[in-house]
Structure 1
Amino acid sequence: MAELDRTKLLAARFKAAGDRPYLASALYSLTVVPSEAVPTMGVDRHWRCYVSPSFVEATPVPELAGVWIHEVAHLLRDHHGRADRLPAADRRDRVRVNIAQDCEINDDLLDDGLPLPEGRVEPGLFGMDKGLLFEAYLPGVPPQPHLHDCGSGAHGDPLPWEINGPGGPPKVSQVEAEALRRATAEAMRAHQRSRGTLPGGWLRWADQVLEPAVDWRRVLAGAVREAVAWAGGAVDYTYRRPSRRTAAMRGVVLPSLRRPLPRVAIVIDTSGSMGPDDLAAALAEVTGVLREVGVGANRVTVLAVDADVRAASRVTSVDQVVLAGGGGTDMRVGIEAAMAAKERPNVVIVLTDGYTPWPAEPATARLIAALVGDDPPAPPAWVESVRVTPGG
């Protein structure tokens, strides 16, 4: 392996930190790992920066400074964590994911006047607008041949040129990474107040880190998908389709394993404190996700819990849900009614303002609470909960 020109490489990092002092702490947290296996530069989840000695030799210091900032941007923006939350079909194409992430970063870097090496990608190459997140760019990125790979610190997939397993160069833990992100965001805000020169993309990122706005729809959809996947992972034996091993067993019929579709119960609080628009939005989000994951209407039961009579009735559409006056609905009635059904659900989703008693123990089904309202009380710790922001 050619010898790495560390003086040149570290001079480029010094320049990057000097020109953008708000990135200094993050830049100096990266551990340098020389490697001829990496085409240019790349990062892993542990804030290790893999550097090709040949690339350093061929690249001027100003461009190297831009690559330093590009790579640390993947880690600051938690690209690998966000990539982990993509649908499986998107995660499998790490090249497209990486290109979309580069689009998110490079438009900000180019607006900031940073020189980047030739062959860089930017949204305009695909006819897309600037200033978006990589999740928005991803659908517009066509299949690509294998290009430069920024490593698992970007798309999340460990690569052969990364050091995996225990030992090796120092790592930055998840807790330390979050502290670095927050410190960097605070430094960016201070820089913006004093000089007013921060690129718009970085400013939006800093605002999100310091004052995160959680999209309840995404959180609720993720919770429902995960619960349905968990329920669908159960297997059981059936004689409806005999095992293929039956042919080898004379006079014996062996059952085969089947993976059943889960059943879902949606229990709706009809007390007066529930906002009709937010309730309808939450119910629409849940039913939309269930359709998307293949759980049809014939496997979904919707129960409305009446505030006055404390009974549960089955409904077939959101139009049949009547919001009563008063409050104090006991959602245990709905949960018990759902679990007492002839075909018990695997997943129970409760739409409520949170002002209700809860069952004393976890049910045999997964229980998700979509908490609608300004400041709903927290359910027991064993209930998966998502706060639905009013009007959000």
Structure 2
Amino acid sequence: MGATPTSPGPTPLDVAGRIRPKVARPALGPGDPSWRVGPRTDPTGLRPLDRDKLYAARLQAVRARPYLATALFALHLVESREVPTMAVDRYWRCYAAPEFVHRTPVEDLASVWVHEVSHLLRDHHTRSDRLARDLGLRGPADRVRMNIAADCEINDDAFGDGLVVPAGAVLPKRLHLPEGGLMEDYVRGFGIDLTRAGLSWLDCGSGADGVQRPWELGPDGADGLSPQERDAVRFRVAEGIRARPGNAPAGWRRWAEEVFHPPQPWRQLLGAALRSAVSGPGAGGDYSYGRPARRSVGLPGVVLPSLRRRPPRVSVVIDTSGSVSDQELGSALLEVTAIGRAIGGRHDQVTVLSCDAALQSVGALCRAEGIPLVGGGGTDLRTGFAAALRTRPRPDVVVVLTDGQTPWPEVAPACRTVVGLFRRPARYNEDDGEYRPTAPPDWARVVPVG
């Protein structure tokens, strides 16, 4: 798990990563005036880093946030007299200023430990680089703004329940911003005055905004974690939070759910699934005698048809049962319009079927607002599948927009199938141990919608 609070810690390094020679110091005793006032200054007149105090604060942070223990003990402590307070780099080194540690209570240091490791767990350095690239943010003011936005994301639910609010902590309410947001939500909500006194105390290092500082050891310095080791730490912390979610704030629960399964733009995924289906082998292809095949010249008196590409035919089955909301039906109409554009605007190639427990209506796509969505009863989309496959000419692709609470055909259709699945919480019957929620079959390409 890492060093104990009384361990001497690793060999101290200077800002260039070189090992500093040890200075012999006389042993302290109860008669020494500095015995109870903390570490003495060394012969150079500089106060050394009180590692015992920092390790005690880390243990207090672990007691308050046990799910962060793996990450807290993975941080490598580096003494630095150039860092304003405490900061982290993207390689999981934690830099601490001796004077800051000396004057800060242990309770506050425990909160600072949690704050700094949160920057690394939430990958703020990578997100800051991406945000700067997407929004064209450049210069020191923009990087300070991203650092403060990252602090707001962390601090709105980081303290309490055993952790005090450190002096000067940046909270969303102090900037008149809503709570519960992400760094990307906060970054545009306030301005920065670089001439403001004390602004350097907001510097959390490259682990917060992605810009390497002069006092950091960099990628070639000692004791940094590799990308695989960083991912392993994040994975163990996320699994600990998901195992006992009741002990973690909402922000950490959200992070644990998304860190290795980030949300995807479902419209793009659904469009990609449709394009893959309509461009697959056999979709939109048919033989025609309008232009004989070139092989006919080798067979005198025989005319062979040629394979011609035509716009693919798509049948869209919309679940109109009572469990589907009006908002979801509106989303379904938007997707029908997008499907028409995806096949080149050939609305005559798109057939729309509304179905609950029985087939309700069938019609070609002309305008999305003219599609009748009739239903409201139970759900059995097998009738919709059967009706779609009976249409002539037969469809190349069947797209189903449903909440998934329906029986499915036992046999895969003779065409490609894409299922847009409206999100629903899993429903389990506690009285029936064998019950499992309905799931689309393996032969369908499933895309969560919404």
TM-score (ref. length: structure 2):
0.52
> Is 2:449 the partner of 1:391?
yes
Corresponding residue of 1:272: 315
Q: Say what the alpha-carbon RMSD is for the aligned residues.
A: 4.0
| Aligned mate of 1:303, from 328, 332, 344 | 344
Shift of 1:162: 1.3
Pairing 1:1-392 to 2, within 5 Å after superposition: 2-86=47-131, 87-90=134-137, 92=139, 93-145=142-194, 146-147=199-200, 148-166=202-220, 168-192=221-245, 196-209=246-259, 212-216=262-266, 271-273=314-316, 277=331, 280=334, 303-304=344-345, 326-328=394-396, 373=420, 389-392=447-450
Greater fraction helix:
1
User: Structure 1 residues 34, 278: CA separation in 2 closer, same or farther (over 3 Å shift)?
Assistant: farther
CA distance in 2, matches of 1:328, 1:48: 56
Contact 2:87 2:94 in 1 (8 A): yes
Contact 1:26 1:72 in 2 (8 A): yes
Shift of 1:179: 1.9
CA distance in 1, matches of 2:163, 2:312: 54
Corresponding residue of 1:351: none
Contact 1:67 1:116 in 2 (8 A): no
Corresponding residue of 2:308: none
User: Structure 1 residues 173, 303: CA separation in 2 closer, same or farther (over 3 Å shift)?
Assistant: same
> Any stretches of 5+ residues in structure 1 without a counterpart?
221-267, 288-300, 310-317, 330-353, 357-370, 378-386
Corresponding residue of 1:250: none
CA distance in 1, matches of 2:333, 2:112: 47
Please list the CA deviations of residues 123-153 of structure 1 after superposition, one character each: whole Å capped at 9, or x if unmatched: 0012122111111112212224344211111
CA distance in 2, matches of 1:282, 1:272: 10
TM-score (ref. length: structure 1):
0.59
Shift of 1:119: 1.4
SS in 2 for 1:108: coil
Q: What number of residue pairs does the alignment pair up?
A: 274
> Any stretches of 5+ residues in structure 2 without a counterpart?
1-45, 271-310, 319-329, 351-365, 372-387, 398-414, 422-439
Shift of 1:72: 0.4
Higher RCO, 1 vs 2 (CA within 8 Å, ≥6 residues apart): 1
User: Structure 1 residues 372, 37: CA separation in 2 closer, same or farther (over 3 Å shift)?
Assistant: farther
Percent identity between the aligned chains? 46
SS in 1 for 2:251: helix
SS in 2 for 1:49: strand
Corresponding residue of 1:345: none
Q: Which has the larger radius of gyration?
A: 2
User: Structure 1 residues 165, 197: CA separation in 2 closer, same or farther (over 3 Å shift)?
Assistant: closer
Shift of 1:25: 0.6
CA distance in 1, matches of 2:441, 2:346: 18
The residue identity in structure 2 corresponding to 1:204 is: R
Shift of 1:197: 3.5
CA distance in 1, matches of 2:232, 2:265: 22
The residue identity in structure 1 corresponding to 2:164 is: P
User: Structure 1 residues 373, 217: CA separation in 2 closer, same or farther (over 3 Å shift)?
Assistant: closer
User: Structure 1 residues 355, 76: CA separation in 2 closer, same or farther (over 3 Å shift)?
Assistant: same
SS in 1 for 2:254: helix
Shift of 1:270: 6.2
CA distance in 2, matches of 1:121, 1:25: 25
Shift of 1:198: 2.2
